[in-house]
Amino acid sequence: MAQVIATRYELVEVLGRGGMGAVWRAHDRTLDREVAIKEVALPSGLDEAQVERSHARTLREARSAARLDHPGIVTVYDVVEEDGRPWIVMQLVRAEALDAVIAREGPLPPRRVAAIGLDLLDALRAAHAAGVVHRDVKPGNVLLPRGRAVLTDFGIATLAGDETLTQAGAIVGSPAYLAPEQARHQKATPASDLWSLGGTLYAAVEGRPPYRRPDMWGLMAALLSDDPDPLERAGPLTPVLHGLLHRNPDERLRPDEAERLLRQVIDAPPAPLPYALHVPRDVTLPRPVPQPTPPPGPGPRGTPPPRPARWALIIPAGVFSVALLAAVVAIVVFVNGGGESGDGPGGSRASGGPRTGSAASGSGVPTGYERFRGSEFVVAKPKGWTTDGSGDDVTFKDPSPSVIRGIAIQRPSLGLGQNSDPGDALATTATQFKNDSSSYPEYRQESFTRHIPYLGDRAAELQFAFTRNGKPARARVRLFRLDGALYLALLVTEQKNWDASLPYFETFLSTLRKAS
């Protein structure tokens, strides 16, 4: 015989169970409609006073959830008591939960995750405007009916300003998606929901929660002291995830900025092919034209044989999680320079080789270098090297026809700011390089350093080797902050020029300063 709650709701089947109880599909006999009913389960061992407080909290929070009227929030219809415990009657949404979708499909595409994020963000804004904090945003509480995302289970939500009725010392919420301040038993706020939103989107695009630890103790310790694990698949979602998952709630991304970054992901054109780079600055990159292999000997009218095709550094679509793509596109231009024969390995008729031991009198610039001023920085560049670009997006190239090498400095402009961690961004990039064998054939990571003291802050550095058109090449990338803004410096050379080129890069980094 079917169980009937409050002489009205007939329980049909269990839809799911969790730490806070079970959810049933039920039939409302009075209105002849299907509903979802949450059976609130209390932990064992509570005394009578604790049970009363827990019931009071559930009733109050169900009433707070019933105040919310938004298409992105599952509607609460009723709350009743049966068998000495509360039952929350809700709208029945026939849809799969996000955690089930992730389990079945694996990591989801960034654009799809961004669309889910916009729906959830809109729902949370409505809840926060009504003074309601969810406190348990997670993939299991996100339902995905066709074309939209809906937030459910406000069963542990709280009215902002209400006295907490939760048992002292208890952790309310799912630890894997808990904000650090909640883990410290501080009051949950709208910013806490935004952290959990970031964790939910992280799980959707990466296929796992922000912290991968073997047990609950390790998870809680990481939540209290560590940054989330580095992103690998987030691509253009990286800036918004870094912003939402900032450990300090006061510096966490605000809803308006989160919305802007999510819409930027959705509105962006499809990722181009490696040779069809989208460059958000005034740089022209011609499509490489295959070069026929010339026959040996002089050409018509005694002209010398054409030079072999110059090797090119191909920047893969989505590199640096899209936000840093513009920062390295210029490298395609300067690496296409250089030639084959001339002064031999490491030679440079223009600069005559690096000199780092002495400074020109009164200038503070080492001998063999000259001062360059960008919009926000000054630096010593090798004397005689050509300059491409201006402001804070500049490439310096050795003009010698026998050498292929250059140094670039760029300021990313697509969402990475002072809250972005250089180590996370560079770790994501290293993974993308490794997985993109077509763009970096024979890619070999040689070193990765997450924390390098630099300019009063910390930087990250990646060094790797690869082969292009049969020519061994190497690169070193440093990501750092200068006066709160994120910058990138990059050295790229042929393998044969590597040792002779490193002093140029070291001098470049050591002389870089904020412009006064």
Evaluate whether 423 touches 507 at the Cβ level (below 8 Å): no
Is 447 buried (19+), middle (13-18) or exposed (0-12) by CB count in 10 A?
exposed
| Beta bridge partners of residue 513, listed in sequence order | 378
From the annotation, which residues make up the binding site? 38
Give the separation between CA 344 and CA 319, rounded to whole angstroms.
33
Q: Which of 482, 413, 495, 485 is nearest to 446 (CA)?
A: 495
Report the helix count and the strand count for the chain, using DSSP H and E.
Answer: 11, 20
Evaluate whether 201 touches 116 at the Cβ level (below 8 Å): yes
Q: Which of 213, 187, 204, 304 is nearest to 244 (CA)?
A: 204
CA dihedral 249, 252, 257, 262 (to 10 degrees): -120
Could you give the count of Cα atoms lying within 13 Å of 509 in the half-sphere of its Cβ? 23
How is residue 342 written in tokens? 């001339």
The catalytic residue positions are 136
Where helices occur in 390-477 by DSSP H, the ranges are 422-435
Evaluate whether 42 touches 170 at the Cβ level (below 8 Å): no
Evaluate whether 121 touches 258 at the Cβ level (below 8 Å): yes
**Per-residue buried b or exposed e for 182-194, using 16+ beta carbons within 10 Å of the residue's own CB:** bbeeeebbbbbbb
From the annotation, which residues make up the binding site for ATP? 38
Residue 458: CB atoms within 10 A of its CB come to: 15
Give the separation between CA 102 and CA 203, rounded to whole angstroms.
8
- Match 């490193």 to its residue by tokens: 502
3-state DSSP percent of the chain in helix, strand and coil, to 5 = 30, 25, 45
